[in-house]
Structure 1
């Protein structure tokens, strides 16, 4: 979890941010070892911290960002976990100091696309149903019949069900937080994949100074003081492309 606040010392505003992890502590005298998933979580939460610490707006807590943009910065930071610089310096055996074998890293990257067809379909079904519920006269809706009718229209495979069935879809019915905004998780991933390709294509890779400067200047520091689509264009030079996410998930891209 990342906690953020801003306070004032001697008339100067100071931004405070902390990452608080509940990793399982090692036995007495033994180091605390974390899993790959824990390491991804650590980088993810550190992305939230950097986003907050980079803020140049007066009240960063009030400029947290729009819903479909909130997780983008933290998801992007996860990409640094598999760079050579992190692998060789931090992903090392706690006894020998040897970096994690390249073969194992390759396996982890290859496994990342496993079952993505299923996961993408189940998620999109719920995201689309969310939008349909919020753009249809509720007086005409009987949830179970409406769900079945709309999924049939979409051509939903019988083998896959929605991630959240209509009658327990808390994201979109319990508050305004995610109402008609459940799609935001995936849109944040589109931004993440597209921004990651900007680094991958740069001369300095994920440590390219020019791209890093743009990242902080346009996507981290101003938070939502500028329309996010405008800020992203300043960073990337264009709108984000969905094809980047398709490549990340192992789907064939023809253009």
Structure 2
């Protein structure tokens, strides 16, 4: 079923808890979770949420790979368990690429253990369209049937290009639903629920450019700046 674009806001939580937005993807209404990076006050709650909500992959868009401003919220030592409240983490794998770093960690409680992926990279706007497509493909190749959590130092809206691209790729890979791919509809459905999730115009243009390399989708290519601006304004959903 075509689910992309539905989203809901998590009910207000006590101070220190992680508050996020659930966004639907290709297969369900809970494929993605968007939230802010954990802080010192809620890092334990963050990892408990990752464990309990069956998150398989974390994608972190930071200001730089050096991560000058973001809190390092994962273990600093490899192959050693570190406790985060109700769960333990153990970093087991690290691979550094030009545009991102891929790490794997075991997360466990007293009875259950599983592996999660963590991708750390610079902001979406630093990628070329081809480079971003390759990055999303890499993430998807490591994701099983669980949720992806995304956070960005530039705000939740800057994670939307990833949601759109990942959903497009999944649909275009399935001949039965490929004809239902509609990037504009995805954005409209998301923005209807949360206007602040509309990416800035430059990221909208960037997302459009990325989609051009994926194959035929159910929308016409934008040909010039005036046309792009017109469509972007149309997507600014009224209250």
Q: How does the TM-score come out when normalised to structure 1?
A: 0.25
Q: Which has the higher helix share?
A: 1
- In our comparison, the structure showing a higher alpha carbon Rg is 1
Q: Which has the higher strand share?
A: 2
Q: How does the TM-score come out when normalised to structure 2?
A: 0.26
